[in-house]
Amino acid sequence: MTARDTHIGDISGPAQHNAGQERPFLSWPVARKEFYQTISVSMLLPLLWGVAVFGFRAAVIILGTLATAAVTHYLLERFTQRGQLLTWNHTLAYAVIASGLTAPLLTWYWALVMGASIVLLIWIAGLPGKQRFHIALLAPLALTAIFVPAGRWPVLVLDHLTIGDIDQSIAAQIYRWPKRSPSRGVDAVLLPRPEQVIQHTLGKIAGDPAGVQSHIALQNMFAMNLPSPPALLLGGVPGRIGTVGIFAIIIAGLYLSYRHILPPDASALFLIAVLVGLIFGPLSPRVLHHEFWQSIGGLWYLAPERSIALLFYEVCSSDFIFASVFILALPGTLPIEPLARKVFLVLAGLAAALLHRIAIPLPPATVALLLLQPISPALDMLLHRRTWLLD
Partner 1 sequence: MFMGKMSLRSRQVPGGLYFGPPAWDAPVWPARDIAESSPPTLLPETPEALREVLQRLKIGGQDIWAPALVDQLGGGAVRDVVLNLVAPQPESILPRVLSEFELPQLITGLNLVRRCVSAPRAILAIPRDESEIRYQWGAVAKAHPFVVRPLVNRYPLGHPSILLRALLGLKIQPGASPADAGVVLLDPMTCWILGCWIEFGGVPQWRPVELFTHNAMPRLIAANLGQPLSQVFSDAGIIYKERQCIINGMMTGELVNPEQTVLEPWIRIISLRPPPLVEQPVDCIRCGWCVNACPAGLNPAGLMAQVRMIDSLPAISAQEASACIDCGLCSYVCPSRLALAVTIHSLKTADAQADTPGEAT
Under the rule (CB under 8 A), what is the footprint of partner 1?
A: 1-32, 34-35, 127-132, 260, 263, 331-332, 334-338, 341, 376-377, 380-381, 384-391
Phi, psi dihedrals of residue 169, rounded to the nearest 5°: -135, 160
Residues in the chain: 391
Closest approach, Cβ 251 to partner 1, in A, equals 16
Alpha helices in 207-327 (DSSP H): 212-220, 229-234, 246-258, 264-280, 296-302, 304-317, 320-322
Residue among 212 and 389 whose Cβ is closer to partner 1: 389
Residue among 129 and 229 whose Cβ is closer to partner 1: 129
Closest approach, Cβ 113 to partner 1, in A, equals 27
Q: Which residues contact 75 (CB under 8 A, 6 or more apart)?
A: 83
Residue among 291 and 391 whose Cβ is closer to partner 1: 391
Residue among 278 and 334 whose Cβ is closer to partner 1: 334
Closest approach, Cβ 121 to partner 1, in A, equals 16
Residue 170 bridge partners (DSSP): 189
Cβ–Cβ < 8 Å for 292, 207: no
Residue among 34 and 165 whose Cβ is closer to partner 1: 34
Residue among 212 and 390 whose Cβ is closer to partner 1: 390
String of DSSP letters for 11-23: ---S--SS--SSS
According to DSSP, residue 137 is labeled G
Whole-angstrom Cα distance, residue 299 to residue 210? 8
Cβ–Cβ < 8 Å for 265, 257: no
Closest approach, Cβ 366 to partner 1, in A, equals 18
Closest approach, Cβ 319 to partner 1, in A, equals 23
Closest approach, Cβ 162 to partner 1, in A, equals 29
According to DSSP, residue 342 is labeled H
